[in-house]
């Protein structure tokens, strides 16, 4: 099994014909992902990468039965694209776009709250279930199939973690990039919960960073639910100064509670296996699995 996306997912790309959308859709198709079409307003009726282009997400859903959408729409229009996907009945909306105004995301996240949909991102690398579906911008070859679930706020750090896990002779069920913005759809806790309830996932890697309370919330949930599976935790940004945004819009230390040190402490208190060195994530996974 896996979570969020699999070989049966019917995926559309919003912002399909743009340069980013085109490049990554091509890579996804090459990987074997079931991309059934895309949306670019005004280009409906055309073919792109051998797949149909639609004017609206509703049209795409009607014609293809799409249930997953990947968004590459530019920042100024991305929140609208998220709401359009939710309105059209898309079940999983994965948003890669970086730089969406916060006020737009306040609106969008409120809008989708009562809809039967799940948003992943924005500002994330996407979601991959190795061997089945790559829905995002990650390099597919790094991820081999296995029993380790990954949840991460960061792109390249996810690849790094996956690579370390694979070099230990292990593999990944699903890797979920939840994104580094102040407002994101799927939280660390929700992503961990999905993997905790996935039969094939034996162990979870949770990668966080400074800013916000998401990792602490997830850690508390893990403990309240009886630490059913081991969780390996890493928090980036121990050396980041307070009050400065470190690349990701959400990666900023505001108070004493959102420092890396404070988060690691809470993780440890809740039975998470915390690694201090980002070079030891894979090793720790193997160690804990062997018991």
For residues 270 and 291, give the distance between their C-alpha atoms in angstroms, rounded to a whole number: 18
Smallest gap from Cβ 114 to other proteins, in A, equals 11
According to the binding rule CB under 8 A, does residue 86 interact with other proteins? no
Give every CB contact of residue 24 below 8 A, 6+ residues apart in sequence. Answer: 13, 70, 72, 96, 136, 137
Smallest gap from Cβ 277 to other proteins, in A, equals 6
According to the binding rule CB under 8 A, does residue 231 interact with other proteins? no
Smallest gap from Cβ 121 to other proteins, in A, equals 13
Residue 273 annotated in active site: no
| Binding test (CB under 8 A) with other proteins, winner from 28, 66, 93, 236 | 236
For residues 237 and 241, give the distance between their C-alpha atoms in angstroms, rounded to a whole number: 9
For residue 148, how many C-alpha atoms fall within 13 Å in the half-sphere facing its CB?
Answer: 31
For residues 157 and 19, give the distance between their C-alpha atoms in angstroms, rounded to a whole number: 25
* Closer residue to other proteins (CB): 67 or 215: 215
* Closer residue to other proteins (CB): 69 or 158: 158
Using the contact rule CB under 8 A, the part of the chain among 35-43, 46-54, 63-71, 235-243 near other proteins is 235-243
For residues 244 and 241, give the distance between their C-alpha atoms in angstroms, rounded to a whole number: 6
Given a contact cutoff of 8 angstroms between Cβ atoms, the answer to whether 195 and 204 are in contact is yes
| Binding test (CB under 8 A) with other proteins, winner from 7, 63, 76, 227 | 76
| Binding test (CB under 8 A) with other proteins, winner from 32, 80, 110, 225 | 110
Tell me whether strands 203-209 and 231-236 are parallel, antiparallel or unpaired.
parallel
Smallest gap from Cβ 220 to other proteins, in A, equals 13
Tell me whether strands 203-209 and 145-152 are parallel, antiparallel or unpaired.
parallel
| Binding test (CB under 8 A) with other proteins, winner from 248, 263, 264, 284 | 248
DSSP state for residue 89 in the 8-state scheme: T
Using the contact rule CB under 8 A, the part of the chain among 11-19, 53-61, 64-72, 237-245 near other proteins is 237-245
Smallest gap from Cβ 245 to other proteins, in A, equals 8
Would you please indicate which residues are annotated as catalytic (active-site) residues?
248
């Amino acid at each position: 099994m896996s979570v969020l996306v699999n070989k049966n997912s019917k995926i559309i790309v919003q912002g399909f014909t743009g340069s980013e959308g085109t490049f990554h859709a091509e890579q996804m198709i090459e990987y074997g992902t079931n991309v059934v079409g895309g949306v670019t307003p005004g280009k409906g009726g055309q073919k792109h990468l051998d797949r149909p282009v639609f004017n609206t997400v509703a049209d795409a859903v009607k014609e293809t039965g799409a249930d997953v959408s990947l968004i590459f729409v530019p920042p100024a229009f991305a929140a609208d694209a998220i709401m359009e996907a939710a309105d059209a009945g898309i079940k999983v909306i994965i948003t890669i776009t970086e730089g969406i105004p916060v006020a737009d995301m306040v609106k969008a996240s409120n809008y989708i709250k009562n809809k039967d949909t799940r948003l992943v991102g924005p500002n994330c690398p996407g979601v991959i279930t190795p061997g089945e579906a790559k829905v995002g911008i990650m390099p597919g070859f790094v991820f081999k199939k296995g029993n380790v679930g990954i949840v991460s706020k960061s792109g390249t750090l996810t690849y790094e973690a996956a690579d370390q896990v694979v070099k230990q002779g292990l593999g990944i069920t699903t890797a979920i990039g939840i994104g580094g913005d102040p407002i994101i759809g799927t939280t660390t806790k929700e992503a961990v919960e999905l993997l905790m309830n996935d039969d094939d996932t034996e162990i979870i890697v949770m990668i966080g960073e400074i800013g916000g309370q998401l990792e602490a919330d997830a850690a508390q949930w893990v403990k309240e639910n009886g630490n059913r599976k081991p969780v390996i935790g890493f928090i980036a940004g121990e050396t980041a100064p307070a009050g400065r945004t470190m690349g990701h819009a959400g990666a900023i230390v505001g108070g004493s509670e959102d420092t890396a040190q404070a988060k690691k402490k809470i993780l440890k208190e809740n039975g998470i296996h915390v690694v201090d060195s980002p070079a030891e994530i894979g090793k720790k996974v193997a160690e804990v699995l062997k018991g």
